[in-house]
Structure 1
Amino acid sequence: MKNTDITAQYRALDDQYYMPAFSRNMAIVRGKGSTVWDGDGKEYIDCVAGIAVCSTGHCHPAVVKAICEQAHELIHCSNLYYVPHQGEMAKKIVEVTGMKKAFFSNSGAEASDGALKLARVRTGKKKFVAFTHGFHGRTIGSLAVTHKPAAREPFEPLGLPTTFVEYGNLDAVKKAVDNDTAAVIVEPIQGEAGVIIPQDSFLEGIREICDRKGALMIVDEVQTGMGRTGKWLALQHAKVQPDIVTLAKGIASGFPMGAFAARDGLEFGKGEHGSTFAGGPVACAAGLATISVLEQILPDVARKGERFKKGLAKYHPRVRGLMIGITVGEKCPEVQAECLKNGVLVNCAADGNLRLVPPLVISDAEIDRAVKVIDGALGKVVL
């Protein structure tokens, strides 16, 4: 089959057999490092990375090797038995988060669900506080604490009483948290909202309010974690210790995996939680290989972010490591299309915000090429 036929084939099958939940018009068929190729063979610098998923780049040799070697040994054995690599991976997650124990899931939404369940069962309380423009997943549980009305309201009632307050407003948090609040769930940087970075004092203030009211603090690091901001966790910039942390996206370089970790004294008892596939042998092998690569590249993430910031300074980007947001407005889709035409993949998040979350292995030369294209697109469409 010619390359030019691939996208058309994908589109035809998708139109006939797949529920139309996504808006898409191109096929990505191959990737290496920070580069991907579409069905026509065109090359792109990928500043989306599967939405902050491909942390070590596409098909990193160490991750591919770990997946293949484990797949030859054992693909699945269920959590009825001790699982190869699961304990090692849990140890690594505990070490990078500063928590006491971990539990694995298959996605960030499942990690959110697990954290919410743990908060309820250990506190005996029923209510949650979350934030406007926050995003925690699309399962019934995680959707209950996700603010976006278009995503949440069609599926109400959702069964978890949740009060939404303005992100960054500590006075509103104080008023919302009461003696029946199980937890406050918060993103240290709001990713789906367009890379909204609060003051460090915001997270510190939430910690103090939770302590006073006896509520737990759940920090959603699904998008911000695993080195994305230049530290293992974005909350580590504020030096806040939460009760529960959720992770996914960059944890296993694109292999489906999530996790949540909790402080000492917070854990599920036997039979309180479970999953057939979570923390399987191949996922944990991929996760361990990913962490090994990230340990080597993490010290350089902040510098790379500053390179993006300097190159796009005229647009006042919001930057924390390799998590970058630029307010564009209603013309954001046009900027995205212009970048696509010129070989750079970018993403429009909520409220007209351009979001850049490239692989953490992106090179200086690739950053400079991406900046040139993005600058040109913004200049052509917006200025």
Structure 2
Amino acid sequence: MSKEQIDDLIWGKFESEIIDMKIPLHSSCHIPQTMAMDGAFALFNGFLTYLMLKLGYKPKLAKGYKGTLDDKSWWLNYLDEFDFMGLSYHSVDEDYSVPPFVFKQFFNESGKDITICLLLDWYSFYETNLALSKSKLDADSKYTHKLFYEFRNRNLTSYHVLDYMKDLQNEDFAKSHKLILRPDKLADFIIHLNEDYLDYQDFPNDVYTTEEWNKMSTIEQIGTYGKKELVFCNEDNFHHLLESASIQIPNVEFVTFSEFLQDKLIPEAQDWAEIRDAYIRRLKNSFVDTDDSKNFDRAKKFLRYAKNSLEKSSFRDSVINSSLAIEDTLSTFLNRSDLRLEEKIKELESNPDLGNHVINLHYIRNVRNRTVHASDFEVTEDIARHVLEMADQFLADIQK
């Protein structure tokens, strides 16, 4: 199969049915946009898992999943669950991003396990390896967390990549998995929905030592972002880009997703189309909210994420998802996805049945804001549990 045929098998009419929706995907509303982004990754991750299952490889899943993978309804229930995908674009904020790569583990009865490291964030991967390539430090010093190069990607992504590159020095680790570049189509979908994810294709012109960077003027620093020729990473040129920069990826097999599939596309893979189309219909229907049809399924899903995070002691994630639950509940109830959360809460003040929740909702909003933005604030288990209980009660009352 060609790359275009593979894309068509994975995503079907996702582009025409979901990406091309003018409202609300391209409005200022964060939730529908990230739902579509999760949907794009859910179909990719689901197809990969479904194919491996047909090849005799079961996925390593977190505890708590009910039902069986042989039941197609299972896929519709869990396809875009956080634990199944390994990421979610819902929880992303200014300083909180999806991982640069996701590990997928599959095993079979004969013990021939397969582990995949799916590379999503090309920018951080390229930037980190460019710094390692240019560095004159010895092997032991190269992989420390000292910022000997000025990384323009200011979150922890570059450090995660640095840790991964250090681990690749161990041949046993490197040979125990395959490094696979994200499909071009997946990157196209995500970037189309949110240009902040240009990192999936873009890469820096150069990196600079911290000393060099600090000597530059602001104008000179800004000028380092400019490019004479716009070139983006894709599945056809990524090897050339690495070679041009004298970057070597040691020990691990690094291939495109299409290359990984070369000998694996058995006829049974076509059965994926039924699950794919049913999921696209469900996702599209979830975007349509009317006054006489209040569907709170999305909010319930966020609360499930919040409860799961609390059980795993991920208190920050629990607060963020509880906040997303009340925001989506209010959007559905008020039929106003264009308002900020604070404005949505204010709309409830005159409601005789729900006005008593206003104080609690502002509390949730404030805790969420401090969780995301205040460096001196730490979410405790008690705070996360209190926030979850208030969000859960609000959703219960609004459905009465």
Please indicate, yes or no, whether the TM-score normalized by the shorter chain is above 0.5: no
The structure carrying a bigger helix percent of its residues is 2
Larger Rg, first or second structure (1 or 2): 2
The structure carrying a bigger strand percent of its residues is 1
Relative contact order (C-alpha < 8 Å, sep 6+): which is higher?
1
Instruction: Give the TM-score taking structure 1 as reference length.
Output: 0.29
